[in-house]
Amino acid sequence: MEEGQKKENFTSFSEIFKNKKPIVKPPAYAWQDLALRIIKELAIPNFKRSSVFKVCRDLPATVVERAFNDTKELCQTGSSWKYFFKIIDGVKKETKK
């Protein structure tokens, strides 16, 4: 071993695995990242999270972003996630006409 190089001594494999950091995979699609952000910021309950992913997948990102921003701006108290779905439901009804 050359001078100036440091050698790390691990006493066991368990020590190596203990020091290994978990790899966090980024979302595969942009709509997944948007859905995760909405879930986090609006505190969406577990039973409604799949609905957020479906909305983000099926509707244009601009529509979902507008509903998300409106929710944050207009619903300061109460269940903001319910208000988000109310806005999304209105958008879906408009597009079916």
Cα Rg of the chain (Å, integer):
22
Q: Which amino acid is located at 38 in the chain?
A: I
pLDDT at 94: 82
Structure tokens at 40: 């986090």
| Confidence class for position 10, pLDDT limits 50, 70, 90 | low
Residues 16-42: pLDDT tens digits? 777 777 777 777 888 999 999 999 999
Q: Is 6 helix (H, G, I), strand (E, B) or coil?
A: coil
- Token pair recorded at residue 61: 């990102």
* Three-state DSSP class for residue 17: helix
Q: Are 82 and 71 in contact (CB under 8 A)?
A: no
Q: How does pLDDT run across 49-84, given as a tens digit for each residue?
A: 999 999 999 999 999 999 999 998 988 777 888 999
